[in-house]
Amino acid sequence: MKGVNGQRSTVNGSLLAPFEFRIERTAGAARAGRLALPHGEVLTPTFMPVGTYGTVRGLHPEEVEQAGARIILGNTYHLHLRPGESTIRALGGLHRFTTWPRPMLTDSGGFQVFSLAGLRSISEEGVEFTSHIDGSTRTLTPESSMEIQWALGADVAMAFDHVVAGQASHDLAEEGMERTLRWLTRCRRRHEELAEETQTLWPIIQGGIHDDLRRRSLEGTLARGPWTGIAIGGLSVGEPKPVMHRVLESLAGALPPDRPRYLMGVGFPEDLVEGIARGVDLFDCVAATRNGRHGSAWTSGGRVNIRGADHRTALEPLDPACDCATCARFSRSYLRHLFVAEEMLGLRLVSLHNIRFLLRLTEEARRAILAGELDRWSREWLRRYHGGADA
RNA sequence: GGUGGGGUGGCCGAGUGGCUAAUGGCAGCAGACUGUAAAUCUGCCGGGCUUCGCCCUACGAAGGUUCGAAUCCUUCCCCCACCA
């Protein structure tokens, strides 16, 4: 290691070298591991809350940490628009700026190629966005995405990829997949020029729902390696769940077994259970906080809409089995009241609960893997979840 | 007591002869949300039913004009403003 930021990752007492991933035990395709990053160690499998603008919406960093999060996301495109990476770099980088002391990962802006499809045009060089903030033209290329992410200073930078919709034809998915590979070459080159050993770059597998394309994407990606971790992108973007499971299964056997696997943008609780069983180590998803703000909570008995009239006088917590700060203290009736009255505390409390719910789920899954009981745990978990009142 | 204005679905409020079971908004109810343009969006919202449709009851009350009335006329009740 070199440089002032290059201290060994001793935050959690880890003796691993930065970016080292050690698998402690496997259970079928599933793995329990430890990932060492410059800002600390991450036990896997785990869920990474999304903090697009350098904040997990509505939550104080301490709350996010107390909920069990050990790594969170930031977003290249949105932080580039405001406050801008030069500002963040001048203020000491994303970690110091936000005060989040633990590992961070920045998404590359690739997802905005998909989610802001109406505001951008793609060329081989890169993507031209019309800013939704002021209408200005903003161009993102594989190179500029790397430059921005290096300026932001997260532990993990993501490759700039071309995401296509889940319904995309073979031709379209192939185009996005091949472009993602070509861009990966450019990402890697630029990242190597910039980054010291305080940041690693992870590639993203694309290919839509087409097994042959997924395989080619993986081969092309590995040929451009080595990598300290590999992401699977372009899932849960409109394709049926069984299709996502099939893609994961087809990749599980071909992915390097000793590298962390990150399933991007997933997901819902049942997706985490299914994903972990298929070898996924890392997840991220906005649903925990977005749905939380919208009053939709995950509980061990299924989904609950806290705005519902049936909670008007309910004394029980959101989820009696939950150990989050919300469930420890507040009744469903109070949470419902906060939503009806449009008090911001309600948005925060349910967001926090959802974050903790996913993290507790991954913690339980990890324990089950270590205990060699993942199958049983998964079955029971899904049965209880789908058997709930709102399932 | 006089003059003027007004009474519309839970509330506010459009609507002056057929296109009106009645615009909007609010409240209420339900649903959606997966690498965040989202504290957002969508649907329902007089009653009933066999609910892509049918049947009731409806615009203060009663009566009338008209093929047809929330809309026009008469009487009554109530509210508001001003004047006595």
CB A16 within 8 A of CB A59: no
Would you give the DSSP letter of residue A19? T
Q: Which residues contact A83 (CB under 8 A, 6 or more apart)?
A: none
Rounded average pLDDT over A144-171: 96
Residue A63: predicted pLDDT? 98
Q: Which nucleotide is nearest to A294 (CA to C1')?
A: B39
For strand B, the positions having any atom within 7 A of a protein Cβ are 27-41
Name the residue closest to B34, CA to C1': A267
- Annotate A138-161 with three-state secondary structure: EEECHHHHHHHHHHHCCCEEECCC
Residue A15 has pLDDT above 90, yes or no: no
Residue A5 has pLDDT above 60, yes or no: no
Alpha carbon distance A172, A168 (integer Å): 6
DSSP letters, A169-211, are -HHHHHHHHHHHHHHHHHHHHHHHHH--TT-EEE-EE--TT-H
CB A353 within 8 A of CB A344: no
Alpha carbon distance A16, A37 (integer Å): 9
Kindly state the tokens that stand for A161. 């990829």
pLDDT tens column, A239-297: 999 999 999 999 999 999 999 999 999 989 999 999 999 999 999 999 999 999 999 99
Q: Which nucleotide is nearest to A285 (CA to C1')?
A: B34
C1’ B43 / CA A171, Å = 36
CB A94 within 8 A of CB A106: yes
What backbone torsions phi and psi does residue A252 show, to the nearest 5 degrees? -55, -40
CB A238 within 8 A of CB A165: yes
Q: Which nucleotide is nearest to A263 (CA to C1')?
A: B35
Give me the A residues in range 222-261 that sit within 7 A (CB) of strand B. 231, 233-234, 236-237, 241
Is residue A267's beta carbon less than 7 angstroms from any atom in nucleic acid strand B?
Answer: yes
Give me the A residues in range 273-312 that sit within 7 A (CB) of strand B. 284-287, 289-291, 293-296, 303, 305, 307-310, 312
Q: Which residues contact A283 (CB under 8 A, 6 or more apart)?
A: A45, A46, A47, A48, A262, A263, A266, A267, A271, A272, A275, A358, A362
Residue A367: predicted pLDDT? 98
Residue A391: predicted pLDDT? 36
Residue A333 has pLDDT above 60, yes or no: yes
Is residue A269's beta carbon less than 7 angstroms from any atom in nucleic acid strand B?
Answer: no
Interstrand relation of A30-37 and A21-27 (parallel, antiparallel or unpaired): antiparallel
C1’ B47 / CA A316, Å = 36
The percentage of chain A sitting over the pLDDT mark of 90, rounded to a whole number, equals: 92
Residue A16: predicted pLDDT? 79
Residues facing residue A75 across a β-bridge: A107
User: Among residues A75, A192, A197, A189, which one has the least CA distance to residue A140?
Assistant: A75
Q: Is A264 helix (H, G, I), strand (E, B) or coil?
A: coil
Q: Is A123 helix (H, G, I), strand (E, B) or coil?
A: coil
Alpha carbon distance A374, A365 (integer Å): 7
Rounded average pLDDT over A378-391: 79
CB A158 within 8 A of CB A263: no
Residue A387: predicted pLDDT? 81
Is residue A30's beta carbon less than 7 angstroms from any atom in nucleic acid strand B?
Answer: no
Give me the A residues in range 181-200 that sit within 7 A (CB) of strand B. none
pTM over 0.90: yes
- Tell me which residues of A are annotated as active site: 107, 284
Alpha carbon distance A186, A108 (integer Å): 13
Nearest-Å Rg of the Cα atoms of chain A is 20
Across all residues in chain A, what is the average pLDDT? Answer: 94
Is residue A158's beta carbon less than 7 angstroms from any atom in nucleic acid strand B?
Answer: yes
What backbone torsions phi and psi does residue A92 show, to the nearest 5 degrees? 105, 10
Residue A172 exposure: Cα atoms within 13 Å on the Cβ side: 12
Residue A205 has pLDDT above 70, yes or no: yes
Q: Residue holding tokens 């940041």?
A: A199
Q: Which residues contact A110 (CB under 8 A, 6 or more apart)?
A: A145, A158, A159, A160, A161, A162, A163, A180, A204, A233
Alpha carbon distance A391, A376 (integer Å): 20
Residue A17 has pLDDT above 90, yes or no: no
Q: Which nucleotide is nearest to A117 (CA to C1')?
A: B37
Give me the A residues in range 330-359 that sit within 7 A (CB) of strand B. 340, 342, 344, 347
pLDDT tier at A6, thresholds 50, 70, 90 = very low
Looking at A238-372, list the stretches that DSSP marks H as alpha helix, in order from N- to C-terminal side. Answer: 241-252, 269-277, 287-293, 332-340, 344-370
Give me the A residues in range 112-141 that sit within 7 A (CB) of strand B. 112, 114-116, 118-119, 132
Residue A96 has pLDDT above 70, yes or no: yes
